[in-house]
A and B are shown apart, each in its own frame.
Chain A
Amino acid sequence: MAAKGWKEIPIGGTITEAGNAKEVKTGSWRVMRPIHDKNKCTSCMLCWLYCPDQAILQTQGHMDGINYDYCKGCGLCSSVCPAKAIEMKAETEFLE
């Protein structure tokens, strides 16, 4: 997402691609990281339903994990999970 100079911007400042906000990886905001436990998960899809950032990965109703590119770490998924399959951990634990 390199910044563009005025000469590269389309006339009128139009955005030529719909939904290009996907290029913005909001995952860099995260302070707490949700960790998905596959063994506890029942794929009830509540996390997928409520995730404000659509950062829950699923295939045909089966929960696959979390898209850390977009997850802002709000922890909503963890709080709505009836099986307690998502645990929030501090991002500092994952520093190299």
Chain B
Amino acid sequence: MPITMKELALEFDKKNPGITQGHRLCPGCGAPITAKFVLMVAKHLGYDPLVGVATGCLEVSTTIYPYTAWSIPYIHNAFENISATVSGVETASRALKKWGKIPQDKRHAFIAFGGDGGTYDIGLQSLSGAVERGHNFLYVLYDNEGYMNTGNQRSGSTPPGAQTTTAPVGKVIPGKPQLKKNIVEIIAAHENVYAATVSLSDPVDFFNKVEKGLNFQGPAFLAAMSPCVRFWRVPESDTVKIARLAVESNYWPLYEVEKGVYRVTRKPKSFKPVEEFLKSQGRFRPLLSRPDADKIVGELQAYVDARWERLLALEEATKDKPIRK
């Protein structure tokens, strides 16, 4: 049964999902919404969530001393090792169960949160290691496409043409020249894994994928489109609107890969042009005012279209053919 908003509203009217009010994230930030969605589903399914957060906006702003916005067991570790830390917590819980120190029927959900800097770039090796070892945990990437906590530096997730302080749009260089890394494919290539993309704009799809990821025996990975109002230069109230535009323009296709089997979870008849997504944000304004803007936007559009074709072909080709049992 898919989880509905109504069920969650009834359950969490007075109950805390695990992250409390009073955190110091920007007004309208996507990260606490992502964290709240994941934790609500975990608690709704009867799990006791244990959370590890990599360095990033979410960690820094929720744990300003002497306050913590986490009402559940929480551990912080550096950018590069949050997956290793959470895999250690998961192993410790298995050992404690074996020794009878915690009850056998205790259902913990091991959840790691990381931003795109801690996932695409710095934390990639520990994430790959934890996924390869097959730890039973859920990694949630809140993707705001840059090192926003330290003031908008480019990351492996920044889209081409975006204005960042380390790849500014100038007279010669049109912002970041490279395309975004395809993190879901990288994680899915570990084979024994559940990897999916989610967006704040599709909460039911989001809940279903969290449920699938938590119930999956082995590592699960969710990449959540989580706009940064500050450095995407969008109004604070537009977080969900921008996330929706990303999905509607096919910039952020919603799909899942379970042991090599692709499934596209949102297949609309038509998409909006990517240009509409770019135009909605101030970070692309310097790019769009350049004379060669059409060429760069055209290249991105061609990439997005090619990726969609490939996704559909992969879905067709891998149907009922899991690579691992």
Q: Taking beta carbons and an 8 Å cutoff, which residues of A are in contact with B?
A: 4, 9, 13, 15, 18-26, 29, 45-46, 48-50, 52-55, 58-61, 67, 69-70, 72-76, 78-80, 88
Give 9 A-B contacts (CB < 8 Å), ordered by A residue. A15-B66, A21-B23, A21-B62, A52-B30, A54-B17, A54-B19, A67-B21, A70-B21, A79-B238
Question: In the bound complex, do residue B72 and residue A80 qualify as a contact, i.e. CB atoms below 8 Å apart?
Answer: no
Contact B27 A74 (CB under 8 A): yes
Closest chain B residue to A25, Cβ basis: B22
Residue in contact with A76 in the complex, picked from B10, B25, B239, CB distance below 8 Å: B239
B5 and A49 contacting across the interface, CB-CB below 8 Å = yes
Which of the listed residues B17, B30, B68 has the most CB atoms from chain A within 10 Å of its own CB?
B68
* B10/A60 in contact, CB under 8 A: yes
| Complex contact B237–A45 (CB within 8 A) | no
Task: Give complex CA distance A58, B5 in Å.
Answer: 13
Contact status B65-A78, CB under 8 Å? no
Report the bound CA distance from A96 to B36 in whole Å: 36
Q: Is the beta-carbon distance between B67 and A20 smaller than 8 angstroms?
A: yes
Q: Which of the four size classes fits the interface of chain B?
A: 35 or more
A9, A18, A52, A60: the one contacting B71 at CB < 8 Å is A18
B interface list, Cβ under 8 A from A:
5-6, 8-10, 13-14, 16-17, 19-33, 36, 62, 64-72, 200, 203, 229, 235-241
A30 CB to closest chain B CB (Å) equals: 8
Q: Which of B9, B10, B68, B237 contacts A78 (CB 8 A)?
A: B237
Complex Cα distance, B65 from A80, in Å, reads 33
Complex contact B28–A76 (CB within 8 A): yes
How far apart sit A79 and B200, CA to CA, in the bound complex (Å)? 14
Complex CA–CA separation, A53 to B19 (angstroms): 9
Are B27 and A29 neighbours in the complex by a CB distance under 8 Å? yes
A72 adjacent to B9 (CB under 8 Å) = no
> In the complex, what distance in Å separates the CA atom of A80 from the CA atom of B27?
15
Q: Among B25, B68, B236, which residue has its beta carbon within 8 angstroms of that of A18? A: B68
A77 to B297, CA, bound (A): 32
Q: Pick from B6, B26, B66, B67 the residue with the most CB of A within 10 Å.
A: B66
Contacts of A23 in B (CB 8 A): 22, 67
Q: A46-B5, A74-B236 are in contact. List 8 more A-B contacts (CB 8 A).
A: A19-B69, A23-B22, A24-B22, A26-B22, A48-B9, A60-B9, A72-B27, A88-B237
A54 shortest CB reach to chain B, Å: 5
A38 to chain B, nearest CB (A): 17
